[in-house]
Structure 1
Amino acid sequence: MDSDAGRIRRIRFASLTGALALFALLYAPQAVLPQLATEFSVPPGTVALLISASTLGLALAAVPLGTLSEALGRRRTMIASLLIAEGIGLLLPWVHHFALMVGARLVQGAAVAGLATVAVAYLADEAGGRHLGSTMGLYVAGTTIGGMSGRIVCGVVADFAGWSGGMLAVALLAGVCTVAFVMLLPADSRRSRQPWKWRPLVEGLRSAASTPVLYAPYLVAALGMGAFVTVYNVLGFRLIGPPLMVPPALAALAFLAYAAGTVTSAVAGRVADRRGRSPVLLCGLSITVVGLLAMLSEQLVLILLGLVVFTGGFFMAHSVASTWVGARAPESARGQASSLYQFCYYSGSSVGGVAGGTAFAAWGWTGMTALLCCWLAVAAGGVVLARGAT
């Protein structure tokens, strides 16, 4: 019993540090997008490619790496993935050509896919049953801590050391977390690797793509993440521009709103284990919309309060949706189902981030909000249709 309890603790701490490193690296440039737009003389919609490129790389690599992890082994895939992403993170501060940086971010996103897509399946296998909701909630909490710390560290350091100094600081922070992840993560123990044969791997992918009960979380992943990354991509432009005129270092502190996601993602997993996934997921989406509407205000305090509510609601929904996939995917296709969820999640980030940024440039914050509310309503509709199956 003690051995099992100790193993679960190691898995939880490893998932927390791994998620922190991954999301700090993935989203750090978001805090300095206005500075990068000035550095490279590009408009907001174009500079957002530095975020969309990484999430596009992740989306494109999600299914292949999630499928191959069934044969390579999940721990090996996750560790190699994070080490490569960290290496690129250490190189990015020295890149001073926009197209080259976009290309490097694309490769970095593809690298981290090995962790982002495999983690859900690994946790479902190694900490399943009564531990799954709380363990998955802690992993998602790690994603919020990573996203928050990467953005804040980058934004604050960049105010006196430039954007390259900010990104280097984040890479060093992620390096410490990467070392902890490698040391803590236990080997796969409850699932043997599949042989290097394409047919069973492809069959698993087909099963994951044709299981109707998984369509709702796939939809939530795509549309919810599209809305979420849009808000955070353009938030800096709104805060530092007229009429608010918030100094950049202080604007970066708005990413402290991620702390709300840390709390709600951890709590949502436990509540969903008791109350069911559909009601908690619909509650999360509703809270997300409420926060989005509150941000229509021109008052800084109400904008920041709305951001906290918006962030908490989104991560509540994401935590439950990802747990839904891990729990309801066919056992033989759990890795592929996880990779499809991540494909939808990061495709939504890439496509939605660009579409939402374009909407902001064309219609302002109000028009963008209307578009994002429509996306979230469609996602909620998918959950309502599927709730009888959960």
Structure 2
Amino acid sequence: MQASPRRLEGGTPAFRRLNLALFAAGFATFAILYCVQPLLPVFSEEFHVSAAVSSLSLSLSTGLLAVAMLVVGSLSEVWGRKPVMVASLFASAVLTILSAAAPTWHALLLTRVAIGVSLSGLPAVAMAYVSEEVDSKSVGLAMGLFIGGNAIGGMSGRLITGILTDLGSWRVAIGAIGTLGLLAAILAWRSLPASAHFTPRRADLMELLRSFADHLRDPGLLCLYAEAFLLMGAFVTLYNYLGYRLMAPPYLLSQSAIGAIFVIYLVGTASSTIAGSLADRLGRPRVLGAMIAVMLSGVAMSLLGHLAAILAGIVAVTFGFFGAHSVASSWVGSRAQSAKAQASALYLFCYYLGSSLIGTLGGVFWASSGWWGIASLVSVLLIAALAVALRLITLSSRMSD
């Protein structure tokens, strides 16, 4: 009988190709998804909509992404990982280019809905792909680099959008992001190794539903899903309304300056790798709790009036968020014993659902209480996340790291 192919190990050419492809895929996903975030004040002005309504350009994408991932993650168990990921990247890039020409607010929202659905073929499937194809000793590094690609993509998408909007228009900016997405899709298509350890499953709806039920009966996975909802909701809400605060007096920052703030996402690249390394030595629950505490300290700093203090607070929140997300997302893949794409899809369903629901809810808090309202909402979410992390510590003796 032919021996099973070895899993990809750190330092090998195949591992480097995988990391390049996953980095490009993570870059494109977050650049396309979040390129509209610094444009929310621009949309409010051009289309005459409120902050909460403007946030729908992001929240509808993340909300539909959350729901569609449950379906597409299951379909990847039948169709395979790479075909789903590559198709997702190409479709979302083309739709982003089309969205740049949307003639009305409702047309723009419609294209953003379609983008959310098309992007659903990447995040959960990529997490499952890594857990199947990469040697256990290198999974943390591969996942950290994927999350790092997310961070740089999110940063670059927002930065490029801010600069090109000042130089030309938001339509030029979004069209450029779509073009970058196409290039990333081609790179992923050419560089991503084909699955060697994927076993297709039958397209059995009842079996797929049973797999979902099994994941939802696991107390450890439930805690990780709660963390995804709370942490992403807090993080996106903070960034959604930061532009409104800093474009108003006394700061009066330009669109380019607002976009440049997202360079802070670079610390997410570092923190995702650092957190993964610390988790191997200190245990995932403790590192997760520590990263949430860092986020809380950053929220407190953002309440200070000086611009430098606000930015330092945002740095702390960003560092803590990407570190926590890296730990929790890799934990899901190792915790799930079967149907890993579905387990990852449930995690990301909660992740993007938090972004969608809480991100828009933040507009109500902004309208009623300004930044103090935003900080209060985010603090409550993070305190709840810290309580869940403490629960994970009590469960850790029964959870497989």
TM range (shorter): over 0.9
Matched, 1:217 2:224: yes
Change (3 A) 1:201 1:241: same
One of 166, 174, 197 as aligned partner of 1:167: 174
Aligned twin of 1:339 = 345
The Cα offsets for residues 158-178 of structure 1, whole Å up to 9 and x where unpaired, read as 101111011111112222211
Deviation at 1:3, TM superposition (A): 7.7
One of 179, 183, 188 as aligned partner of 2:190: 183
Structure 1 residues 144-163: aligned runs within 5 Å: 144-163=151-170
| Separation (CA, whole Å) in 2 of partners of 1:3 and 1:122 | 11
Structure 1 residues 170-319: aligned runs within 5 Å: 170-319=177-326
Q: Alignment partner of 1:129: what SS? A: coil
Aligned twin of 2:97 = 90
Deviation at 1:192, TM superposition (A): 1.0
Deviation at 1:379, TM superposition (A): 1.1
Matched, 1:363 2:388: no
- 5+ residue gaps, structure 2, are 1-5, 397-401
| Separation (CA, whole Å) in 2 of partners of 1:11 and 1:280 | 27
Matched, 1:387 2:381: no
- Mapped contact 1:36–1:163 kept (Cα < 8 A): no
Q: Which amino acid aligns with 1:173?
A: L
Q: Alignment partner of 1:172: what SS? A: helix
Q: Alignment partner of 2:339: what SS? A: helix
| Separation (CA, whole Å) in 2 of partners of 1:316 and 1:293 | 19
Q: Which amino acid aligns with 1:32?
A: L
Deviation at 1:128, TM superposition (A): 4.1
- Mapped contact 1:26–1:109 kept (Cα < 8 A): yes
Structure 1 residues 117-128: aligned runs within 5 Å: 117-128=124-135
The Cα offsets for residues 47-79 of structure 1, whole Å up to 9 and x where unpaired, read as 000000100110110111111110011111111
Deviation at 1:85, TM superposition (A): 0.5
Matched, 1:52 2:59: yes
Aligned twin of 1:71 = 78
- Mapped contact 2:89–2:122 kept (Cα < 8 A): yes
Deviates more, 1:53-62 or 1:364-373: 364-373
| Separation (CA, whole Å) in 2 of partners of 1:291 and 1:58 | 28
- What's the % identity of the aligned pairs? 36
| Separation (CA, whole Å) in 2 of partners of 1:231 and 1:82 | 27
- Mapped contact 1:239–1:245 kept (Cα < 8 A): yes
Change (3 A) 1:282 1:3: closer
Aligned twin of 1:8 = 15
- Mapped contact 2:272–2:325 kept (Cα < 8 A): yes
Deviation at 1:84, TM superposition (A): 0.8
Change (3 A) 1:3 1:306: closer
- Mapped contact 2:47–2:105 kept (Cα < 8 A): yes
- 5+ residue gaps, structure 1, are none
- Mapped contact 1:205–1:336 kept (Cα < 8 A): yes
Greater fraction helix: 1
Deviates more, 1:221-230 or 1:128-137: 128-137
- Mapped contact 2:228–2:347 kept (Cα < 8 A): yes
| Separation (CA, whole Å) in 1 of partners of 2:107 and 2:101 | 11
Q: Alignment partner of 1:125: what SS? A: helix
Matched, 1:353 2:330: no
RMSD between aligned alpha carbons? 1.4
| Separation (CA, whole Å) in 1 of partners of 2:310 and 2:89 | 35
| Separation (CA, whole Å) in 1 of partners of 2:147 and 2:303 | 27
Deviation at 1:130, TM superposition (A): 0.8
| Separation (CA, whole Å) in 1 of partners of 2:191 and 2:368 | 48
Deviation at 1:367, TM superposition (A): 2.0
After the TM superposition, which parts of structure 1 deviate over 4 Å for at least 4 consecutive aligned residues?
1-4
| Separation (CA, whole Å) in 1 of partners of 2:242 and 2:233 | 14
- Mapped contact 1:216–1:379 kept (Cα < 8 A): no
- Mapped contact 1:70–1:201 kept (Cα < 8 A): no
Deviation at 1:40, TM superposition (A): 0.4
Matched, 1:377 2:390: no
TM-score normalized by the length of structure 2: 0.94
Deviation at 1:371, TM superposition (A): 1.5
The Cα offsets for residues 336-383 of structure 1, whole Å up to 9 and x where unpaired, read as 110000100000000010111211111111122112111111111112
TM-score normalized by the length of structure 1: 0.97
| Separation (CA, whole Å) in 1 of partners of 2:8 and 2:212 | 34
- Mapped contact 1:227–1:356 kept (Cα < 8 A): no
Deviates more, 1:138-147 or 1:249-258: 249-258
Deviation at 1:289, TM superposition (A): 0.7
Deviation at 1:2, TM superposition (A): 11
Q: Alignment partner of 2:35: what SS? A: helix
The Cα offsets for residues 86-116 of structure 1, whole Å up to 9 and x where unpaired, read as 1101111100211111111111111101101
- Mapped contact 1:67–1:205 kept (Cα < 8 A): no
